[in-house]
Chain A
């Protein structure tokens, strides 16, 4: 049983890499049929698709050998750990897509040293907001009605409000 237990832990530790492999497969397949599909929904879809696959693997390798409340307890444990690691993978991918810092580092790597003005010109604040607004409409977080942006997803607004409150609690 101990070896099965260790296998469960190893499977959970390696789960971000498993999601990465599934994401490569789905991203390449989906982009073949829909070349203009936005990358973030594909990433979210890959993470969601990985849940039943990982659930099945965990069941077969460990959970089905348990009895009583241990099935529920270890199932809950695996769900929490897997959700945290898949969330980390999704945020890491989101950083590669949206983070200003990553964009600046990539630009400097491509072009070599640049003045702050040249960098700012490449990354105009207006363009930055337009890109974000377009992406938020694509992701159905906002909708555009007669030139006005309206909130579509209340849950994300709550998350944003909670993060603002947390920032205040940390003294920012």
Chain B
């Protein structure tokens, strides 16, 4: 096999192995901290597999192994980015699916009837509490230092682009 063909084949193989492991583990039990668990499932076994490839295929150079690792990382990061849409029941995707199913379209009222206003908001609060990005301070909710670190890059991104805060 030529070098680019080997890189593509090994990069996709390591990604699909990690993806299979992810499906298997999630079907057994959903993790408490989704992002941490996803990073562990995709990057720890990924690194082990690339190490095994390095031992098994001596003709691959260090640069080829780096290229495989970059391909695996790119595919894993893209997957991890779309994961919340399947896990957290994205309202935008749900609207698309609902409108797509209806032959004559839906009014705003009909679309609203498919959503529970309480869970739309409280589920996200629950997620943030679980991830320790916010904490309960008496009757109130407060931003944790971890939450502060999480939000800072997003604020910097909007500021650099000259945009006001997003509306959520």
Contacts and interface: CB of A to CB of B under 8 A. Distances in A.
Contacts of A13: 70
A95 interface: yes
B123 to A, nearest CB: 9
Contacts of B137: 113
B51 interface: no
Interface in A1-41: 2, 5-6, 9, 12-13, 20, 23-24, 27-28, 31, 39
- Chain B interface mostly helix, strand, loop or mixed? helix
B105 A102 contact: no
A99 B157 CA distance: 14
Classify chain A's interface size.
35 or more
Classify chain B's interface size.
35 or more
* Closest CB pairs A-B (n = 6): A73-B4, A103-B168, A125-B117, A84-B74, A157-B100, A148-B105
Interface string B23-49: 100110010000000000000000000
Interface of B: 2-5, 7-8, 11, 23, 26-27, 30, 61, 63, 66-67, 70-71, 74-75, 77-78, 81-82, 85-87, 89-97, 99-100, 104-108, 111-112, 115, 117-118, 120-122, 124-125, 127-128, 133-134, 137, 139-143, 147-148, 150-151, 154-155, 157-158, 160-163, 165-168
A1 to B, nearest CB: 10
A51 interface: no
Contacts of B92: 98, 132, 135-136
Contact of B100 (A70, A101, A151, A163): A151
A138 B85 CA distance: 21
Contacts of A74: 4
A108 B143 contact: yes
B168 A160 contact: no
Contact of A129 (B75, B105, B112, B150): B112
Contacts of A76: 4, 8
